[in-house]
Amino acid sequence: MPLRSSPLTATPLVSVIIPCYNAQRYIGATIASVLAQKDITLEIIVVDDGSRDESVALVRKGFPAVRIVEQANAGVAAARNTGIAAARGEWIAFIDADDIWLPGKLAAQLAQMAALPECRMCYTAWKVWPSDVPQPAQDYLARLQDEAGDSALWRGASGWIYPQLLLDCVVWTSTVLMKRTLLAELNGFDTSLRLGEDYDLWLRASRITPIVRVARPYALYRMHPASITRATPAENYRARVIGQALGRWGLESPDGRTGNAGAVRRMLAKSWSDFAGAHLEARNLGQARRAAFAALRTDPAHVPGWKVLVKTGLKALSPSKEKA
C-alpha cells in the first residue's frame, strides 16, 4: 500500500527497499524515518532475508501498511533484487534496516532530479552515527541541523563520477535514489558478490548516467558493534570490483575525462595490503603472503605490502601454528 502524509493513491512515486536480517532492534526506527518523508507518495518494501529474530513480527504489528517479502537467506544483493522486482514506483530508494533518513531527503533528491532530467541517479551526503540506540537524540539532530547548512562541508563527487569511483566507493547505498528503469537496464545487484555489490552497481551506473550528489546530510550511517564485519574476508572484493571495471572500460570516463592511473594503482595495492593484513592477524600466513605479493605486483613501491610480507616471515618463525 502506498504511504504518504496526505490521502493514499494507487501508484507510488518512490519504492523504498529495506533488506532485513535480524534487525528487530533498529528496523522500527528506520521505517519511522522513512515515514517522516512528507508529501511523497511511497511504498515501503521490507525484504526479510531469513531472519531468526522477531523482525517480521515487529514490522507486521507496528507498520501494517509495509509490504513484507520473505526469502531464505541469500545475502543483501539478492534481498535488494527481490525488492526491486516487487517495486511499483518510478523511483527506487534504498535504506538498510539499521540506518536513519532525515526529514526532507526524498523531496530534496526529487527536486534535484527534476532540474536535471538527463540524470537517473542521485545520492546525498551523510553523517556517520556511532550509536546502538534505536533513535537519534533530539540534541544530536539539532547539532547536525546547524552543520547541515554549510554546503562546502558536504560537497562530494557529482556528475560523471566514474574516475572518482575508481578510487573509492564515494556513494553510500542508504542515500541512493535511482530510476527503476535504470536498475532494469543494469540487471540489479550482482549476487555473486557478498561484499562490494553496491560498489559494483554504482560503477556500472556511472557509465550510463551522471550521478548527482545533494550536498546536505540526509541520512545517518549507524556504526554499532553488530555492524562491524569481524570475519576475515574470503576475497579481496575491492580489487575484484575495480579490476572488472578496468577490464571493461579502462580509465576513461563517459564524459572524456581520464582517471589517474597512478592513484588507481596505489588504491589497488592498498586493497591487497589491507587484505593481507587481515589474514596476517588471523594467522592465515599463506593467504597473507599471496596477498602481499599481489600488492607488490600492483605497485612495487607500496611500503605496506613490504611490511606485511616481512611480518608474515616473522610470524612463520614464531611458535604458534599457522592456519591452513
Task: Look at residue 225 in the predicted model and tell me its pLDDT.
Answer: 62
Is residue 300 domain-shared with residue 187, that is, in the same domain?
Answer: no
Compute the C-alpha angle 127/132/137, nearest 5°: 65
**Structural domain harbouring 291:** 260-317
7 within a domain of the structure (yes/no): no
Distance CA 206, CA 162 (A): 5
28 within a domain of the structure (yes/no): yes
Regions in the chain scoring below 70 on pLDDT: 1-10, 225-230, 317, 319-324
For residue 65, the 8-state DSSP code is: T
Helices (H), 87-196: 105-115, 138-148, 162-165, 180-186
Which residue, among 231, 240, 239, 128, has the nearest Cα to 174 in the 3D structure? 128
Distance CA 2, CA 39 (A): 12
Query: Which tens digits make up the pLDDT trace of 213-239?
Result: 999 999 999 987 655 556 788 999 999
Task: Look at residue 2 in the predicted model and tell me its pLDDT.
Answer: 47
160 within a domain of the structure (yes/no): yes
Which residue, among 165, 177, 182, 304, has the nearest Cα to 241 in the 3D structure? 165
Task: Look at residue 227 in the predicted model and tell me its pLDDT.
Answer: 52
Q: How far is CA 246 from CA 201, 203, 204, 242, 273, in A?
A: 14, 10, 11, 6, 20
Task: Look at residue 5 in the predicted model and tell me its pLDDT.
Answer: 37
Distance CA 296, CA 313 (A): 16
2 within a domain of the structure (yes/no): no
- CATH code, 61: 3.90.550.10
Picking from 176, 208, 227, the residue at the C-terminal end of a domain is: 227
Task: Look at residue 8 in the predicted model and tell me its pLDDT.
Answer: 37
40 within a domain of the structure (yes/no): yes
295 within a domain of the structure (yes/no): yes
Is residue 40 domain-shared with residue 127, that is, in the same domain?
Answer: yes
Is residue 279 domain-shared with residue 153, that is, in the same domain?
Answer: no
Task: Look at residue 173 in the predicted model and tell me its pLDDT.
Answer: 98
- Structural domain total, the chain: 2
Picking from 211, 227, 243, the residue at the C-terminal end of a domain is: 227
Is residue 298 domain-shared with residue 182, that is, in the same domain?
Answer: no
- Are residues 147 and 161 in contact, defined by beta-carbon separation less than 8 angstroms? no
101 within a domain of the structure (yes/no): yes
Is residue 148 domain-shared with residue 268, that is, in the same domain?
Answer: no
Beta strand spans in the chain (E): 14-20, 42-49, 67-71, 91-94, 100-101, 121-130, 177-179, 211-223
Query: Which tens digits make up the pLDDT trace of 59-68?
Result: 999 999 999 9
Is residue 193 domain-shared with residue 299, that is, in the same domain?
Answer: no
Distance CA 57, CA 22 (A): 11
Which residue, among 37, 45, 164, 33, has the nearest Cα to 109 in the 3D structure? 37
> Which pTM was predicted?
0.91
